[in-house]
């Protein structure tokens, strides 16, 4: 029996990965949202953000309660937002057996121990290096990019499946520094884009360099305190941001009146800074500002 991949979280990321994998192996997009229901009934409308081409794909979908007991042939990719993970873990926990590999693909850090405890199961991390989004229920778009994974079963399964695809899978042995590198990017892109309502390419401009430089400085200091030495400089960050006009997911969360993941991005930097005695005033200010916007957006939407 071949591998089956369960994409737990029928949002933009889960849907993009489902589109990339559906004709290469046995998959199931797991969710109970209106988006999941429309994909199940009508298919998934997929568009690559760099083109106008669109395809309607018959992606398999099931509700969480319909997932069977999982075995060594199953691979679980957690693709929902961090705040959705406790509910997902509650239903997934009873379906896991020891051989099943579970990979968390969320932005941010600091949620892993609680999630592993909720699952009562080992948890691996992955890093998403491509943008994705949705223009409405049943649709998804994505930019080309990569998925970074440490050596292990998930990488063994996904690397050949995504070879030559718009999103490739890269295996990285020295994985922890890459998590911090992604945290640095998200701490700049998500927070500033959320506050200012702009995209990555605008963020790459020189006007915001003084703020970005302070974010980078604080994060490098906190990372060093944990034993991770980051080599990234402001110029590296700007080159990365300038590659696309992607709008970070935190912007869309605020637009939709949804809770953001700021507590596990800039907020995680602040908590670790306090733990190690390193001041992080810029990250603290950005966290507070985003949380204020989040409260107002949720109140307005409600």
Query: pLDDT per residue over 220-249, tens digit each?
Result: 999 999 999 999 899 999 999 998 888 888
pLDDT confidence of 52, banded at 50, 70, 90? Answer: low
The Cα–Cα gap between 114 and 179 comes to 18
Q: Taking 60 as the threshold, does the pLDDT of residue 85 lie above it?
A: yes
pLDDT of res. 245: 84
Q: Which domains does the chain have, with CATH numbers?
A: 4-171 (3.40.50.720), 176-301 (1.10.1040.10)
pLDDT confidence of 50, banded at 50, 70, 90? Answer: low
pLDDT confidence of 79, banded at 50, 70, 90? Answer: very high
pLDDT of res. 302: 55
- pLDDT tens for each residue of 110-153: 999 999 999 999 999 999 999 898 989 999 999 899 999 999 99
- Residue spans of beta strands (DSSP E) within the chain: 4-8, 26-30, 44-48, 54-57, 61-62, 74-78, 101-104, 124-125, 127-129, 132-133, 139-142, 145-149, 167-171
pLDDT confidence of 53, banded at 50, 70, 90? Answer: confident
Q: Which two tokens stand for residue 76?
A: 């679980």
pLDDT of res. 247: 87
- pLDDT tens for each residue of 193-204: 999 999 999 999
């Amino acid at each position: 029996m071949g591998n089956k991949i369960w994409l737990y979280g029928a949002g933009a990321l889960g849907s993009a990965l489902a589109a990339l994998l559906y004709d290469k192996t046995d998959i199931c997009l797991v969710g109970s949202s209106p988006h999941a229901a429309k994909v199940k009934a009508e298919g998934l409308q997929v568009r690559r953000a760099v083109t106008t081409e669109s395809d309607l794909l018959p992606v398999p979908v099931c509700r969480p309660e319909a997932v069977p007991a999982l075995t060594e042939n199953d691979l679980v990719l957690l693709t929902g937002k961090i705040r959705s993970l406790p509910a997902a873990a509650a239903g997934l926990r009873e379906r896991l057996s020891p051989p099943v590999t579970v990979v968390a693909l969320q932005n941010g850090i600091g949620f892993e121990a609680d999630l592993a405890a909720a699952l009562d199961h080992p948890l691996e991390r992955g890093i998403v290096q491509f943008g994705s989004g949705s223009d409405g229920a049943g649709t998804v778009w994505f930019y080309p990019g990569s998925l970074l994974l440490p050596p292990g079963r998930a990488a063994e399964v996904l690397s050949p499946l995504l070879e030559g695809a718009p999103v490739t899978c890269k295996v990285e042995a020295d994985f922890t520094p890459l998590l911090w590198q992604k945290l640095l990017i998200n701490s700049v892109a998500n927070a500033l884009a959320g506050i200012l309502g702009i995209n990555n390419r605008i963020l790459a401009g020189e006007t915001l360099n003084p703020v970005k430089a302070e974010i980078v400085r604080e994060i490098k200091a906190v990372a060093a305190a944990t034993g991770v030495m980051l080599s990234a400089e402001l110029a590296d960050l700007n080159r990365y941001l300038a590659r696309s006009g992607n709008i970070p997911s935190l912007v869309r969360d605020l637009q939709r009146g949804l809770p953001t993941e700021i507590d596990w991005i800039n907020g995680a930097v602040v908590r670790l800074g306090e733990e190690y005695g390193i001041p992080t005033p810029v990250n603290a200010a950005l966290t507070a500002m985003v949380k204020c916007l989040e409260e107002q957006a949720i109140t307005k939407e409600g």
